[in-house]
Amino acid sequence: MQWNSLLRGQSRLLIGLAILLVFLAHASGAIPLSALDALERQAYDLRVRSSVPDTMDERIVIADIDEKSLAELGRWPWGRNVLAQLVDTLTNHYKVKVIGFDVIFAEPDTDSGLGLMNELAQGPLRNDSAFQQAFQARKAQLDHDGQFAASLQNKPVVLGMVFSQTDGISHNAAPAPFATLPASATAALPGLIRPKAFTANLDRLSQNARITGFFDNPSIDPDGIFRRVPLMQLHENRLYPSLALATAHIALDAPPVRMVTGKSGDYEEIEGVAMGDYFVPTDHQANILVPWRGGAGSFPYMPIADILAKKIPLDALENRIVLVGTSAPGLLDLRSTPVANAYPGVEVHANIISGILDDLVWHAPAWSIGVEIITLLAVALITLLVTPRLSPLRQVALSVALVVLLLMLNTLAWNKGLVLPLASSLLLLAVLFTYIMAWGFFVEAHGKRSITRLFGQYVPPDLVDEMARNPESISLEGQSKELTVLFSDVRDFTTISEGLTATELSALMNAYLTSMTRLIHKHRGTIDKYMGDAIMAFWGAPVDDRAHARNALLTAMDMAAELQTLEADFRGRGWPALHIGIGLNTGPMNVGNMGSEFRMAYTVMGDAVNLGSRLEGLSKQYGVTVVVSASTAAAVPEFSYRALDCVRVKGKLEPVKIFEPVGETIQLSASTRDKLALWEAAIGAYCHQQWDDAESRIRALLADEKRPLYQLYLDRIASFRETPPPADWDGVYTYTTK
């Protein structure tokens, strides 16, 4: 059983460690688990939704291509002359800080008819001077792209572009980048996103704009939700900013920009982007976690039609950051985000700009992997090593406490802008808790049920629980141990049974045995068997008990005292009073599961057991209830004893000293101690054949207290006077019957 228990404990630990290794492999990136990644994303979304401020940032205004503007200005796309008017109105009239276009102008404006007029001027009407003169006079008015390009000159305007991660064909010329990096620098930054191609604005628009930023997002999560957006992309060694980063850069008066990196082996990993005194943390791909301000409408929307009509108050736009985008459902610029399933794309840029300006950007640092691994190890060790030692209720309490602790620590980090993994540790805790509980139910509970089935009839419930908690300490195999055995028997049982009906006798014995068994269980004893009116019990097995002799002795004393309580109850029922004899012996015994192939029992055997049985039989000879051997008396020295005799019992050659326990020495009265001392002196005189001295002392005791023991020795003295024992007599009395 010890080996089985050890193997069960090791198996439980090994399986738990195997579960831990799966989580560690995922955390280190060796084994990606898409389900766990999905849970981590959900945990991130929950934290975002629970912590967004839900306030409006009026520093950033959305110049909205809304339904109203489409109704007044016509369907989209509008003529570039309208956009030129928008730029002029915003910069000259409203004096905004910067304009960012969440729109791309990759093709010429053909709505003005300029192309047709050029064909006529170069074709059929090339010789028509009146036409040529009128065309030249109105050519500038028809060149909407030229008007738009002219409006961009020396204005704080950021145009948009898109990169392609798959298509290798670029459209229009590349706009000016943030920086052009040497090949060695780009090789040292392997994490940067490297698109294959791009679509830019018309060349003259790109050339006249202050800067161009991309608004595509190659970092959308597998579930299609916008959580992170790259701030930089690298195309042909040229570094391009996102529309949000470029707009924030102009809004901050174009401070110096540099990429902050940290060494990781032979490579440098990106840690963020610095703009003057501002630092924007990113991951190794230069992705920023979008610092969501709230749901849609976290920024003021103003219809472009009202801006062009100058219906908007000056102070509502002055010195503001303006993003030109659309909320019109028909233009389908909607994104799925943690805060809303349909979120205007232009507000994604607005949130990033707002977070940069406020220096409030969450980020998952590179060392978060180490934190995740340490957390997983701590959760696993606590759960695997501590939880199995607790009761089910305490297991639940510990697991709940760990969940609360993990949530508190993670929330504390979140409030400081750090995004640390959460789902993996919570899931590991849940998996290990479920595993430990299931193991306890299906494996250890089975073991407990087996122990209960084997010992439940003989061992008290609290010992069964103790055995179930430490099954490795229990062995059914035969072994030799020092134990204490108790035998008790009802005196004159045959006479008692003859005076009762079968029903009354059964009720009497049930009441008696139940009461005695309760006392044996109270003192951690094991019931060996009931033999009619007799009881056999032992202490020290199957659960080790270093105080087995004391517990057995206390049981015997309590059994003797319990008879007085039972006598009153039995008298009320018309039953006779019971008298019992009890024998106790301590010594080496064989204990284990013994029997035949037909029936097995957990029992004790050996000479020490037989002596215990003989002592119970001697109790009647000396007129006492409890008889203990010298070995039992020596094992419980805090008790005082009355020496009964030195006897040679049937079946044993060696004599044994036997005693009657009187009580704990510290609790004895002075009178009782004096009587014990007088008795010791009397026994000493008896053993030395000093018959007169022994008789006088015994008669002094008998005058004070009538004890059959005293009369027994007076009778022996009288007999020895008539027939003296040999000169070398050792004081041993030999019994020839059991």
* pLDDT tens sequence across 189-214: 888 999 999 999 999 999 999 999 99
Contact 475, 593 (CB under 8 A): no
Q: What is the pLDDT of residue 5?
A: 45
Contact 36, 424 (CB under 8 A): yes
Q: What is the pLDDT of residue 458?
A: 57
Domain match, 660 and 673 both: no
Which of 133-142, 241-250, 491-500 is least confident? 133-142
d(CA 271, CA 325): 30
Q: What is the pLDDT of residue 440?
A: 65
User: Using the 8-state DSSP alphabet, how is residue 532 labeled?
Assistant: T
Q: Is residue 460 part of a domain?
A: no
Domain match, 212 and 138 both: yes
In the predicted model, is pLDDT for residue 7 greater than 50? no
464 pLDDT tier (thresholds 50, 70, 90): low
Which of 33-47, 265-279, 556-570 is least confident? 265-279
Q: What is the pLDDT of residue 29?
A: 85
Own/partner pairs, 19-26, CB within 8 angstroms, 24+ separation: 19/380, 19/428, 19/431, 19/432, 19/435, 20/376, 20/377, 20/380, 20/384, 20/428, 20/432, 23/376, 23/424, 23/427, 23/428, 24/373, 24/376, 24/377, 26/424
Q: Is residue 44 part of a domain?
A: no
Domain match, 609 and 624 both: yes
Q: Is residue 463 part of a domain?
A: no
Domain boundary residue, one of 358, 378, 400:
358
**328 token code pair:** 């019109």
Domain match, 199 and 260 both: yes
d(CA 644, CA 680): 10
Contact 590, 485 (CB under 8 A): no
Which of 4-18, 495-509, 550-564, 650-664 is least confident? 4-18
**Range list of H helices, 471-530:** 493-498, 502-522
Contact 720, 712 (CB under 8 A): no
pLDDT tens track for 213-245 = 999 999 999 999 999 999 999 999 999 999 999
Domain match, 429 and 384 both: yes
Distance from the first to the final alpha carbon of the chain = 38
d(CA 49, CA 356): 19
Q: Is residue 461 part of a domain?
A: no
Which structural domain range is residue 695 located in? 669-738
Q: What is the pLDDT of residue 6?
A: 41
Q: What is the pLDDT of residue 606?
A: 93
Closest residue by Cα to residue 141 from 162, 112, 166: 112
Domain match, 337 and 429 both: no
Task: Give me the number of domains the chain comprises.
Answer: 4
Domain boundary residue, one of 311, 338, 358:
358
Domain match, 406 and 275 both: no
Q: Is residue 49 part of a domain?
A: no
What value does the mean pLDDT take over residues 53-61? 94
In the predicted model, is pLDDT for residue 2 greater than 60? no
Q: Is residue 54 part of a domain?
A: no
Own/partner pairs, 703-711, CB within 8 angstroms, 24+ separation: 704/675, 705/675, 707/623, 708/622, 708/623, 709/622, 709/623, 709/624, 709/642, 709/644, 709/660
Please tell me which residue, 110 or 547, carries the higher pLDDT value: 547
pTM of the model: 0.65
pLDDT tens track for 623-666 = 999 999 999 999 999 999 999 999 987 767 789 999 999 999 99
Domain match, 282 and 330 both: yes
Q: Is residue 53 part of a domain?
A: no
CATH of the domain at 566: 3.30.70.1230
Domain match, 28 and 77 both: no
Domain match, 565 and 688 both: no
Q: Which residue has the tokens 């013994």?
A: 594
Over the range 267-295, which residues count as b (16 or more CB within 10 Å of their CB) and which as e?
A: ebbbbbbebeebebbbbbbbbbbbbbbbe
Domain match, 377 and 524 both: no
Domain match, 353 and 405 both: no
Domain boundary residue, one of 313, 329, 358:
358
d(CA 221, CA 227): 7
If one counts every other C-beta atom within 10 angstroms of the C-beta of residue 738, the result is 12
Whether the bond between 542 and the residue before it is cis, its omega within 30 degrees of 0, is yes
In the predicted model, is pLDDT for residue 472 greater than 80? no
Q: Is residue 396 part of a domain?
A: yes
Q: Which secondary structure element, helix H or strand E, spans residue 148, and what is its range?
A: helix 144-152
Those residues with Cβ within 8 angstroms of residue 64's Cβ, 6 or more apart along the chain or in another chain:
301, 302, 303, 304, 325, 326, 327
Angle at 76 between CA 74 and CA 81, to 5 degrees: 75
Angle at 395 between CA 389 and CA 400, to 5 degrees: 145
d(CA 58, CA 51): 20
Assign 171 to helix, strand or coil.
Answer: strand
Assign 661 to helix, strand or coil.
Answer: strand
Which of 1-15, 82-96, 137-151, 250-264 is least confident? 1-15
